[in-house]
Amino acid sequence: MKLNIVYFFIGASLMACSTYLEPTLSVQSIVVSQDTAASALASVLAPYQDSLHREFDQVIAETPQDLIVQRPSSNLMNWCADAVYESQIHSTERTEPVICLLNKGGIRASFGAGSLSLSDFYKLMPFDNRLVWVKFPVWKIPEIEAYLLKSGGEPMSNCTFTSTHLQIKGLTPEMEYIWVLTSDFLATGGDQMTFFINTEQIPTNILLRDIFIEQAKHQGELILDQKPRYLK
């Protein structure tokens, strides 16, 4: 069935009638076929589509092997957490340990070995989640441990989960808190990470996706760590 699209053009005029002016409206319509409208729209959008394709198809990094999202830990989960951690750790001076904790559900695509384009990273992280610094009390760490034990593994950096204990580099008995790099979604208790609620937080306007893209460009060939970080 062929569908016609009707464009209405409304014109206003003033009609003189004895001692006052009376506004009137005249309506004209032009019938345009669906095929004609689609063709016209495609013609208008074509230059923009070509530009977007060129931008999103550009190769920004390489990977020597397949990268997968898989519990309890995987090379891609490790890389994502490391990318966030490395992007921040050198730009700040903090005496307390800093770790990164993300969620497996937030990583939406795997990578095949070879060239990686900008569009691959938009598939990896299609959400506009932003980075948050969480000042996390040491006494609440068992809540993270209980969560990890239940979930079976999440992307993490600068820490490992062994048996039922979260091993954090640089954490000493006298320290009262650590810093956790995570997403704004998780920082508000998303994905049942309720241990982040009611903590002191420093939001940023940095998209996690932009961190991944910039780290990939910086590395050229992705730096991969295969070592498991979740050992139940």
Residue 29 has pLDDT above 50, yes or no: no
Contacts of 48 (CB under 8 A, 6+ apart): none
C-alpha distances (whole Å) from 45 to each of 31, 118, 122 are 22, 21, 21
- Closest by CA position to 193, among listed 140, 157, 230: 140
Residue 24 has pLDDT above 90, yes or no: no
Q: Band the pLDDT of 12: cuts 50, 70, 90.
A: very low
Could you give the 3-state DSSP secondary structure of residue 91?
Answer: coil
CA atoms within 13 A on the CB side of 198: 3
CA 16 from chain centre, in angstroms, equals 62
- Closest by CA position to 104, among listed 186, 195, 162: 186
| 27-41, 80-94, 172-186: range with highest mean pLDDT | 172-186
| 13-17, 33-37, 54-58, 99-103: range with highest mean pLDDT | 99-103
- Closest by CA position to 119, among listed 207, 78, 60: 60
| Partners of residue 162 on adjacent β-strands | 165, 231
Residue 49 has pLDDT above 80, yes or no: no
The Cα 129–Cα 187 span in angstroms is 11
Task: Enumerate domains of the chain plus CATH numbers.
Answer: 4-55 (no CATH), 59-231 (3.90.780.10)
